[in-house]
A = this chain, B = another copy of it.
Amino acid sequence: MSATSLHCSAPAAAENVQDSLLLSQPLILQERQQQQQEEQHRTLRRSASNTTSQVAIVGSNLCPIESLDYEITENVLFKQDWRSREKIQIVQYIFMKWTLCFLIGFFVSLVGFFNNLAVENIAGLKFVITSNMMLARKFMAAFIIFSSSNLALALFASLITAFIAPEAAGSGIPEVKAYLNGVDAPAIFSLRTLFVKIVGSISAVSSSLNIGKAGPMVHTGACIAAILGQGGSKKYGLTWKWIRYFKNDRDRRDFVTCGSAAGIAAAFRAPVGGVLFALEEMASWWKSALLWRAFFTTAVVAIVLRALIDVCLRGECGLFGKGGLIMFDVTSADISYHLWDVPPVILLGVIGGILGSLYNSLLQKVLRIYNLINEKGTVYKILLACSISICTSCLLFGLPWIASCRPCPLDPSEPCPTIGRSGNYKKFQCPPGHYNDLASLFFNTNDDAIKNLFSKNTDAEFHHLSMLIFFVTCFFLSIFSYGIVAPSGLFVPVIVTGASYGRFVGMLVSSHSNLNHGLFAVLGSASLLGGSMRMTVSLCVIILELTNNLLLLPLIMLVLLISKTVADAFDANIYDLIMKSKGLPYLEDHSEPYMRQLTVGDVVTGPLQLFHGVEKVSNIVHVLKTTGHNGFPVVDEPPFSESPVLSGLILRAHLVILLKKKAFVPTPMQMFSNSFNEFLADDFAKKGLGNGDRIEDISLSEEEMNMFVDLHPFTNTSPYSVVETMSLAKALLLFREVGLRHLLVIPKVSGGIPVVGILTRHDFMPAHILNLHPMLLRSITRKRLRFQLPSWSKLL
């Protein structure tokens, strides 16, 4: 069971996953000898002396990280169910689906707005109090207030995260992305997680940690969508009965996609960007109907936010500053750029790409160290969070003292020094008529810092050195802040860091360029985002929606293309790296070159567990208890058919329900008509996430154990199948595109047992395949040589 715990404890370091796969998949090279395998099936299934060591052999399926099932299950019962659906039910279904999308958009926008409002007020209050103390020149007291309030907020966030919902830590984007790929990590969409994610994110962001709120918003959106889609939370008694149509993985997946789109839309007020983000980065399956649904959801977000902001613009939101949710408006009709502005922009893109990949690899390394600390226990987790908070407070308060005071400009576009909450010219320790440029960046919320950096007509505001200090501090602070046990996003820190980097480059080349420093900051953000997150269209649209300036489009496209290309030469997308280090079995949409050389038969492992069409109860119980498989082939043999015939595939969940309902007969016989009276299709509907029954909870008498079950009505009679000689690449295409959980492998030559094995998601994982076929490791030297090829070859 150690394999399981390692595999599923999130986050586990990448090496651990390798180990767990080594443990769970012994290096039995499968020889594709039909007879031998056939022998195995029989002996293993029939013998009652199965030891627990069998469990380890099929270990990869034991992990509580379940995979989702997007296949249309075709058993007799479900077919009846579909036929019995009336027109009115179909209309109800459509209506409910749209209503849910509306509700998702509505709730997500409310949460997004409330989130911003809370952060702006809590952080604003903190800054107003400390600023007032600074004005009274009580510097020490100001520092104590500042750092202790930060510590308290960070402590609160990490406490609730560690004790109530550890799944809420981090950004949540990797988990949601894995879910949309078909990996169901436990408890990521529970009501508990949702609560901690919202409250923890507000508290952590208010504590001036260098973390963002966009990632948590995506997770929040997905959570809201998942909870609404499964009809509320059963655990807390909040359930809606009328959402009975969505008890399947496909509809839930669609809702979660819409929810994550709404999350980005609410975080950045970027509705189109949200849809594109969900499409480009999150979703693994997509169709145009879903595009429209996501668009509808984000439109609701946009309209609700717009109405709520109208309220705030009337000044009824307390300390709601200029940064929160208001666009970083860099509109100016006179932006003009020419051919000679292109080289600096290209340079910005190249360095941005290098910085982005450096950022990813450093973050990955820091996460590994943090994992070692976090594994030691909850106290260590919280101590880590607190120490990061204290360090951050010291840096934010200490570093501005380095900067010399600068005299206010003669015709400032806004009051100098800043009065009240947010502004470009923070006074800090300076004498009247002066401002501290570093404090304007550090001693502010991230949103305000971005606004300052993006602002135009402020080319003289910042000193070279200040900008460099700010950039370096942000770069490292954001890397060290992400891994703590609190909800924390990556978007905003990367935007701040990128903006400071871009503005610094702008200062260096300003004599050779027409572009103002604010535009350089925008392009710098784009380059670092492109280098770290590796999105294209969605980032482009998000930046456009943030800055509200379409004239920048060609330059932003150029920067994104260059920085992504450069960064792809070094390492992968930050979310993929985090996902990999958490051990989530993400199925890529492209196959590795060696998969074309392997056949499906080469990777089918382990003894095959199969059932007869009419099976003894004790056999079923035994197999269910000793293996972790989620699907079993059902085969009819001579008493019931002329030759062995593959009847289909039965799911563990359905078997458990059968056992629970105790629909047994004393002798082995088929009984078609009776079974339907006892079962409704609703019984087989997918339960809420992680709420299915377990075999251990079912107790059966000795007599019952000797009875039989007719599995035929509950068997999916036409599962997708491939011939054993098909290449792995081709089978992966089918598995991935159709969204399967099980793929039956049938023999090339008929006559023997009509099924060779079952492929699951784990069988397609490169680590698993390379373990099975160490001779492919021979080509690892080749792999090392073309270190940069895998990331390139994705583009094929």
Contacts and interface: CB of A to CB of B under 8 A. Distances in A.
A633 to B, nearest CB: 13
Interface string A55-90: 000000000000000011010000100110001001
A734 B733 contact: no
A554 B299 CA distance: 6
A97 interface: yes
Interface residues of A, number: 87
A244 interface: no
A287 interface: yes
Contacts of A280: 288, 291
A544 B550 contact: yes
A628 to B, nearest CB: 27
Given A72-B733, A733-B738, A793-B90, A589 B553 contact: no
A794 B295 CA distance: 16
A589 B725 contact: no
Contacts of A574: none
A643 interface: yes
Interface in A552-599: 553-554, 557-558, 561, 564, 589-590, 596-597
B295 A537 contact: yes
A795 interface: yes
A734 B720 contact: yes
Interface stretch (A16-24, A149-157, A301-309): A301-309
A737 interface: yes
Contacts of A792: 94
A94 B643 contact: no
B275 A537 contact: yes
Contact of A557 (B288, B302, B720): B302
Nearest to A93: B796
A121 interface: no
Interface stretch (A436-444, A497-505, A650-658, A743-751): A743-751
B561 A299 contact: yes
Contacts of A83: 597
A272 interface: yes
Identical subunits present: 2
A293 B754 CA distance: 44
Given A271-B553, A645-B749, A722 B718 contact: yes
B748 A730 contact: no
A750 B642 CA distance: 10
A28 interface: no
A293 B795 contact: yes
B299 A558 contact: yes
Interface string A702-732: 0000000000000001101111011101100
A310 B338 contact: yes
A289 B544 contact: no
B540 A272 contact: yes
A561 B296 CA distance: 7
A238 interface: no
Contacts of A550: 544-545, 548, 550
A380 B541 CA distance: 48
A391 interface: no
A82 B729 CA distance: 12
A289 B794 contact: yes
B561 A748 contact: no
Contacts of A554: 271, 299, 302-303, 306
Contacts of A287: 589-590
A726 B596 contact: no
Nearest to A564: B292
A617 interface: no
A541 B338 contact: no
A271 B279 CA distance: 18
Contacts of A295: 536-537, 540, 557, 561
Tell which of A272, A590, A597 has the most Cβ of chain B within 10 Å: A272
Contacts of A545: 550, 553
A331 interface: yes
Contact of A795 (B289, B299, B339, B536): B289
A718 B724 CA distance: 8
A727 B795 CA distance: 35
B557 A271 contact: yes
A250 B537 CA distance: 22
B541 A729 contact: no
B737 A87 contact: no
A289 B796 contact: yes
Contact of A537 (B291, B333, B338): B291
Nearest to A557: B299
Given A541-B272, A551-B548, A737-B737, A726 B74 contact: yes
A427 to B, nearest CB: 30
A339 B795 CA distance: 46
Nearest to A275: B537
A286 interface: yes
Contacts of A347: none
**Residue from the set A589, A727, A786 with the largest chain B CB neighbour count within 10 Å:** A727
What are the nearest 7 A-B pairs in CB distance? Answer: A718-B726, A750-B750, A299-B557, A737-B737, A302-B554, A295-B536, A289-B795
Interface of A: 71-72, 74, 79, 82-83, 87, 90, 93-94, 97, 271-272, 275-276, 279-280, 286-289, 291-293, 295-296, 298-299, 302-303, 306-307, 310, 331, 333, 338-339, 536-537, 540-541, 544-545, 548, 550-551, 553-554, 557-558, 561, 564, 589-590, 596-597, 641-643, 645, 717-718, 720-723, 725-727, 729-730, 733-734, 737-738, 748-751, 754, 786, 789, 792-796
